[in-house]
């Protein structure tokens, strides 16, 4: 049997790890054959502000996002943002079985028992991760305060981002390794992401994250240049900072793994996947493995391609993007009213654009009809403006001959722009629209014009050639076809061409004609 070809939709997806002190961005693309490639990785640290001051924290996060975006490739595609694990509540809930809508009603009916704040202040998302027989459903629920989510969405909007979903950073980190090369199908494992500011620890069972927590262990807690420290030396040679930091790391990791295993729906992991900046510290992986007596491994979440960035730093944003590409996401903390506001804004913008387009087309179609009248008005305006300019000089002169003498002295009919423009407008046919005239130091006039077709433009160039003022210089513009047959309504001409941006130069000084 021939192998069936599977068509994929080519798209670009960007995952953003939106931490309080750090922003990381990973952009992936997938082609129609389903091949996923890495397009860009960028990170930026928030500037240090006053400790514990919320305003400084928010300002620093905005600055980090702005810096990261400025260094990152511009084509982001669909954007998925991971909020910090420490800002959300997760609960693994056991509920009676039912269809998805019934499970939702049961969860929300009793949701206040799972939250440390009022349900009205929460945005809740969930997924059914397991069905136990015909009587039990296991549901992973995620909740965050709505005011904090609105704050994040506002910051993203200021940066020009409209996230498709708001997820949690640890979900991306876990997903990155459930689909990576080396994943042992069916075996539960733990993820330990040791980062600059804190650590993420999670338990994955059947390729799904069940439990997770944030641990107060970070590489920044070590002395300066932590990534240069080696744990390959014996403990008696470690510094005091190293010993204290190491004891805290082991304690938090052991407690987390043991705690996950003793949960009603937990289990003991078979191995630990180690990632994050801490995974770069020499000897640390082996030291952890010896201490917890569980195999510790490292593997890349995706093929790095030509990237030289340390991929294990970007486990979370890469996983968020991969989850979206594989269309296996189940969590979204964007409040529903945000989508309604976006839809309303798009409808409003569509209406405004439609009105502008309608007005433009009416002016365009009406403008061609009125060219002849417009040109004659311009000619009359030239005479009128010249006469008005010398009106104060002739208003007290009663003798006609003297008035004409003053007019002739002030209007040089042979060598002025007045004569040039008079000649120009008298020669201009209906199919030519003069859009702008610019005088250049009284020696020349630069004229911008439009015509129906390229043939009309060629004919007009010949007409200008008969003018004693035409300098023989013309720069052709763009030839663009307007197809009216695709618009609603009936037109005598189904389509027409339009030449725009043409420039012709006319000389006002006869000496320059030679």
In tens, the pLDDT along 68-106 reads 999 999 999 999 999 999 999 999 988 888 888 888 888
Q: What separation, in Å, do the N-terminal and C-terminal C-alpha atoms of the chain show?
A: 82
Q: How confident is the model at residue 293 (pLDDT cuts 50, 70, 90)?
A: very high
pLDDT (tens digit per residue) in 302-320: 888 888 888 999 999 999 9
CB 317 within 8 A of CB 16: yes
Q: What is the Cα–Cα distance from 204 to 169, expressed in whole angstroms?
A: 15
Phi and psi angles of residue 390, each rounded to the nearest 5 degrees, phi first: -105, 5
Residue-level pLDDT at 482: 56
Distances (CA, A) of 105 to 99, 127, 128, 186, 239: 10, 13, 13, 31, 55
**What are the angstrom distances between the C-alpha of 508 and each of 329, 411, 480?**
71, 13, 32
pLDDT of residue 147: 92
Closest by CA to 178, choosing from 330, 326, 15, is: 326
pLDDT tens profile 11-28? 999 999 999 889 999 999
The 10 Å Cβ neighbour count of residue 150 is 14
- In this prediction, residue 344 has a pLDDT band, given cuts at 50, 70 and 90, of confident
Q: Which of 110-124, 204-218, 280-294, 450-464 has the lowest mean pLDDT?
A: 450-464
**Both structure tokens of 105:** 């009603």
Q: Which is nearest to 63 in space by CA: 51, 76, 49?
A: 49
Q: Residues 33-60: what's their mean pLDDT?
A: 84
Domains and CATH numbers, the chain: 84-148+159-315+331-347 (3.30.420.40), 370-513 (no CATH)
Sort strands 78-83 and 444-451 into parallel, antiparallel or unpaired: unpaired
Q: Please report the beta strands in 46-88, taking only residues with DSSP state E, as ranges in sequence order.
A: 78-83
Determine the angle formed by the axes of helices 146-158 and 54-71, rounding to 10 degrees: 40
For 215, residues 6+ apart whose C-beta sits below 8 A from its C-beta are 198, 199, 200, 201, 252, 253, 256
The DSSP result for 94-112, as a single string, is EEE---HHHHHHHHHHTGG
DSSP three-state, residue 506:
strand
Angle CA 152–155–159, to nearest 5: 135
Question: What pLDDT, on the 0 to 100 scale, is given for residue 168?
Answer: 94
Name which of 386, 194, 168, 348 is nearest 278 in CA terms.
194
Secondary structure percentages of the chain, helix, strand, coil, to 5: 45, 25, 30
Position 2 scores a pLDDT of 38
**Pairwise CA distance, residues 305 & 293, whole Å:** 34
Q: Residues with Cβ < 8 Å from 30, sequence gap 6 or more?
A: 8, 9, 10, 11, 13, 36, 37, 325
Of 61-65, 270-274, 399-403, the poorest mean pLDDT is in 399-403
The reply to whether the predicted model has a pTM over 0.75 is no
At 492, is the pLDDT very low, low, confident or very high (cuts 50, 70, 90)?
Answer: very low
Question: Which pLDDT does position 443 carry in this prediction?
Answer: 58
Q: Please give the pLDDT value at position 301.
A: 87
Does position 273 have pLDDT exceeding 50, yes or no? yes
What's residue 187's pLDDT? 87
- State the pLDDT confidence band at 181, using cuts at 50, 70 and 90: low
State residue 201's pLDDT score: 94
Residue 8 DSSP one-character state: -
Q: Tokens 């950073």 sit at which residue?
A: 169
Q: In this predicted structure, what is the pLDDT of residue 80?
A: 94
In Å, what is the CA distance from 368 to each residue of 78, 424, 426, 481? Answer: 43, 18, 17, 15
pLDDT 10s digits, 399-450:
666 766 776 666 655 445 556 666 777 777 777 777 776 655 445 667 777 7
Q: Give the whole-angstrom CA distance, residue 128 versus residue 113.
A: 19
C-alpha 234/C-alpha 64 separation (Å) is 38
Rounded Cα–Cα distance for residues 186 and 165 (Å): 28
The answer, yes or no, to whether residue 387 has pLDDT greater than 70, is no
Least confident of 3-7, 371-375, 481-485, 498-502: 3-7
Give the span between the Cα atoms of 14 and 314, in whole angstroms.
12
């Amino acid at each position: 049997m021939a192998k069936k070809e599977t068509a994929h939709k080519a798209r670009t997806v960007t995952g953003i790890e939106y931490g309080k002190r750090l922003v990381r961005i990973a952009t992936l693309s997938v082609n129609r054959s389903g091949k996923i490639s890495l397009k860009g990785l960028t990170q930026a640290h928030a500037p240090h502000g006053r400790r514990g001051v919320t305003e400084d924290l928010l300002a620093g996060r905005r600055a980090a996002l702005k810096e990261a975006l400025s260094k990152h490739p511009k084509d982001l595609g669909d954007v998925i943002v991971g909020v910090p694990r420490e800002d959300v509540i997760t609960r693994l809930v056991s509920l009676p079985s039912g269809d998805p809508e019934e499970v939702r009603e049961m969860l929300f009916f009793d949701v206040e028992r799972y939250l440390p704040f009022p349900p009205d202040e929460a945005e809740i998302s969930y997924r059914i991760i397991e069905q136990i027989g015909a009587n039990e459903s296991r549901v992973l629920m995620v909740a965050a305060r709505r005011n904090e989510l609105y704050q994040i969405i506002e910051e993203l909007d200021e940066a020009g981002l409209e996230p498709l979903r708001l997820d949690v950073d640890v979900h991306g980190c876990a997903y990155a390794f459930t689909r990576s090369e080396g994943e042992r199908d069916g075996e539960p494992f733990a993820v330990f992401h040791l980062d600059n500011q804190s650590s993420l620890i999670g338990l994955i069972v059947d390729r799904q994250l069940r439990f997770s927590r944030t641990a107060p262990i970070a590489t920044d807690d070590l002395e300066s240049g932590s990534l240069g420290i080696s744990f390959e030396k014996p403990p008696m040679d470690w510094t005091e900072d190293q010993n204290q930091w190491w004891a805290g790391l082991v304690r938090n990791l052991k407690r987390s793994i043991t705690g996950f295993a003793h949960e009603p729906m937990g289990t003991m992991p078979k191995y630990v996947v180690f990632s994050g900046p801490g995974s770069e510290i020499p000897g640390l992986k082996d030291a952890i493995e010896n201490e917890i007596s569980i195999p510790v491994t490292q593997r890349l979440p995706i093929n790095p391609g030509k990237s030289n960035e340390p991929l294990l730093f970007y486990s979370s944003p890469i996983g968020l993007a991969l989850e979206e590409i594989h269309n296996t996401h189940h969590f979204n903390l964007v409040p529903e009213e945000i989508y309604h506001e976006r839809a309303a804004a798009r409808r409003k913008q569509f209406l405004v654009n439609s009105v502008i387009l309608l007005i433009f087309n009416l002016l365009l179609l009406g403008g061609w009809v009125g060219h002849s009248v417009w040109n004659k008005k311009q000619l009359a305006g030239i005479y009128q403006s010249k006469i008005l300019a010398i009106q104060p000089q002739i208003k007290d002169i009663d003798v006609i001959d003297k008035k004409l003498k003053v007019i002739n002295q002030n209007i040089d009919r042979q060598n002025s722009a007045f004569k040039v423009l008079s000649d120009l407008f008298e020669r201009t046919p209906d199919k030519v629209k003069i859009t702008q005239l610019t005088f250049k130091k009284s020696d020349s006039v630069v004229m911008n014009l439009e015509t129906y077709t390229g043939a009309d433009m060629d004919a007009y160039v010949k007409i200008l050639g008969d003018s004693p003022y035409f300098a023989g210089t013309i720069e052709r513009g763009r030839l663009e076809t307007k197809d009216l047959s695709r618009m609603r309504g009936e037109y005598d001409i189904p389509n027409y061409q339009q030449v725009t941006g043409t420039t012709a130069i006319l000389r006002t000084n006869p000496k320059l004609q030679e």
